[in-house]
Amino acid sequence: MSPTLSELEARAAEGKAAFGGDAHIVCDNLVRIFKTEGVEVVALQGLDLLIQKGELVAVVGASGSGKSTLLNVLSGLDVPTAGVARVAGTDLLAMTAKDRLRYRRDIVGFVWQQTARNLLPYLTARENVELPMKLAGRPGTGKARRGRAADLLDLMGVGSRADRKVPEMSGGEQQRVAIAVALANSPQLVLADEPTGELDSETSEEVFGALRKANGELGVTVVIVTHDPLVSERVDRTIGIRDGRTSSETLRREGVAEEYAVLDRVGRLQLPRDFMNALDMERRVRLELESDHIGVWPAREEPSDGQ
């Protein structure tokens, strides 16, 4: 008996779900195109990404490589054009406006690069932390909210600044309050877009420490987009993005960093540009399968077609 259409659909869906398995963040062939009349900008061109629950991951890449777009997609602020994006089992492409709001309230928290943008300048640190809880309309007394806000600020090491307004705090303190704000509704995931971008190295250390504390003590998955080697070299996994695709991954085990290229589901591989330049590889390469590896050689000099 041949399968019915619905059975075929179910089977196809099963096949897709297999990618990434039970990973906390799954991006498969993610595409995001900004379209203004006449002009298209492809910010993500088929990005693949898997992040497990409780990981602390850094995303690095050149300016315009699509890092911030990825983060906006993951934070539920932006909707991808095509592909698969799933966070904590939630399909980011198939969400209604209501789901999206719940997702932003319950599942994700985020921190932007500009310290001024994360906080409302006319509120105190504590009020800023309470704001997301109030917006979410969580049941509980004002006292409970104040207690949680104080706990979070203490955890971030800025408990003493609770009643200060934003302009009365240093940049590092502001960013740590911003992390407390991001953690206010106990999210499963915190996304940080260059959280140390505007800070000096000492303050960056404090802010990164705060993120690591959130990851370690609260078990929150943390994804940090950064240019800062201080951050990218101190996480377990660093994902490199180039031209809207994940290109490389660096894993650190016991202080030793190993860089890997990313192999996608259909076997595409992006070679690092300096490797290609060093061997003058362009247009095509020669592959040879050995028993435990694949060799990649530059194409042999051949007489051109015309002669």
Least distance from C-beta 77 to other proteins, angstroms? Answer: 4
* Piece in contact with other proteins (CB under 8 A), picked from 45-53, 83-91, 123-131, 167-175: 123-131
Site residue total, other proteins (CB under 8 A): 32
Contact pick of 8, 13, 41, 144 for other proteins (by CB under 8 A): 41
> Quick one: 78 or 151, whose CB is closer to other proteins?
78
Least distance from C-beta 37 to other proteins, angstroms? Answer: 5
Q: Does 33 bind other proteins (CB under 8 A)?
A: no
Q: Does 234 bind other proteins (CB under 8 A)?
A: no
Contact pick of 2, 4, 6, 36 for other proteins (by CB under 8 A): 36
- Please say whether the dihedral angle defined by the alpha carbons of residues 12, 76, 242 and 203, taken in this order, is positive or negative: negative
Q: Does 101 bind other proteins (CB under 8 A)?
A: yes
- Which residues inside 167-226 make contact with other proteins, applying CB under 8 A? 181, 185
> Quick one: 110 or 208, whose CB is closer to other proteins?
110
* Piece in contact with other proteins (CB under 8 A), picked from 103-111, 216-224, 282-290, 292-300: 103-111
> Computed over its alpha carbons, how large is the radius of gyration of the chain?
22
Least distance from C-beta 93 to other proteins, angstroms? Answer: 15
Q: Does 96 bind other proteins (CB under 8 A)?
A: no
| Interface residue list for other proteins (CB under 8 A) | 34, 36-39, 41, 72, 75-78, 97, 100-101, 104-105, 110, 114, 117-123, 127, 131-132, 135-136, 181, 185
